[in-house]
């Protein structure tokens, strides 16, 4: 056994003994990945709940959940090939996202725009565009993950329309989503728009509404309704006030989520906020 292999083996043994991160994300990691995760836990601090490194918090305060979540994320990200520096940067962004700095943004919450538990402690507001290719992947992925998660009953997703001019037909798509919202089918309609992203036409909006059982005449009328347009316009204005620059942009309880979207990180942050 060479020196490098010996060092990694020792690091892996220390990791298993000291990290106490009993998580499926930590199982089966290579010695290299375990060493990266251990490095993060030995040098990165828990930004809430416990005032020490993640590794120290895992030992000293078993009731504190955040270090356990961070340890699990360190393992998952290390297993995905992230470096210790990358992971610590992601954790810094997470700390900002979870409201450790700054005042929460004011975001309207309308009953017809909610998915999940309307009385949930955690509200994830999503500024999105019906013609945004990233939204068409990330938003359904988050919903699919939540559907399979115990967190489903602990969160409400709040749809905020933010049509972007550079996306063709973004305004008609937004009006279609809001028309469906006024008829009680905001999220099913949005997901249908995203599922059929590559076959989008403005006339297909009516076909998709019909497939969801919405009355065609009522849907067309809503799309032409000035009140529906005002809701879309006000949602866009709100996003601009809240410094939304692209879609999708996520806010957890009014705090803007920093960094690149990662569905598993989002679930971890929702779990943290639900505590």
Q: What is the pLDDT of residues 24-77, one digit of tens each?
A: 778 889 999 999 999 999 999 999 989 999 999 999 877 799 999 999 999 999
User: What pLDDT is stored for residue 188 in this prediction?
Assistant: 98
Looking at residue 174, what is its pLDDT? Answer: 98
Identify the burial level of 96 via C-beta atoms within 10 angstroms of its C-beta, where 0-12 means exposed, 13-18 middle and 19 or more buried. Answer: middle
- DSSP state string for 98-135: TTSSSPPPP----GGGEEE-TT-SEEEEEEE-TT-HHH
Distance CA 250, CA 72 (A): 22
pTM score, whole prediction: 0.90
Helix (H, G, I), strand (E, B) or coil at 156: strand
pLDDT tens-place string over residues 177-214 = 999 999 999 999 999 999 999 999 999 999 999 999 99
- In angstroms, the CA 26 to CA 77 distance is 10
Position 26 scores a pLDDT of 87
Q: What is the pLDDT of residues 223-275, one digit of tens each?
A: 999 999 999 999 999 999 999 999 999 999 999 999 999 999 999 999 999 98
- Dist. CA 207–CA 28, nearest whole Å: 48
Q: Are 37 and 78 in contact (CB under 8 A)?
A: yes
Token pair for 190: 């949005």
**pLDDT value at 1 more than 50:** no
Mean pLDDT for the chain?
A: 91
Q: What structural domains and CATH numbers belong to the chain?
A: 3-97 (no CATH), 111-274 (3.40.30.10)
């Amino acid at each position: 056994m060479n020196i490098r292999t010996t060092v990694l083996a020792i690091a892996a043994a220390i990791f298993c003994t000291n990290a106490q991160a009993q998580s499926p994300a930590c199982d089966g990691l290579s010695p290299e990945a375990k060493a990266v995760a251990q490095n993060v836990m030995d040098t990165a601090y828990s930004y809430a709940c416990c005032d020490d490194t993640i590794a120290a918090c895992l030992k000293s305060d078993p009731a504190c959940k955040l270090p356990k979540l961070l340890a699990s994320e360190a393992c998952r990200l290390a297993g995905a090939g992230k470096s210790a520096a990358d992971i610590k940067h992601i954790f810094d962004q997470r700390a900002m996202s979870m409201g450790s700095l700054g005042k929460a943004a004011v975001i309207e919450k309308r009953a017809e725009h909610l998915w999940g538990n309307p009385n949930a402690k955690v509200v994830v507001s999503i500024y999105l565009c019906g013609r945004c290719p990233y939204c068409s992947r990330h938003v359904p992925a988050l919903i699919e993950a939540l559907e399979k998660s115990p967190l489903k009953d602990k969160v409400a997703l709040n749809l905020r329309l933010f049509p972007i001019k550079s996306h063709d037909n973004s305004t008609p798509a937004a009006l279609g989503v809001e028309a469906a919202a006024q008829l009680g089918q905001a999220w099913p309609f949005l997901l249908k728009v995203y599922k059929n992203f590559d076959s989008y036409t403005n006339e297909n909006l009516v076909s998709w509404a019909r497939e969801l059982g919405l009355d065609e005449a009522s849907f067309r009328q809503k799309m032409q309704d000035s009140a529906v347009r005002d809701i879309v316009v006000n949602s866009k204005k709100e996003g601009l006030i809240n410094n939304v620059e692209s879609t999708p942009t996520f806010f957890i309880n009014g705090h803007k989520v920093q960094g690149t979207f990662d569905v598993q990180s989002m679930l971890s942050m929702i779990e943290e906020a639900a505590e």
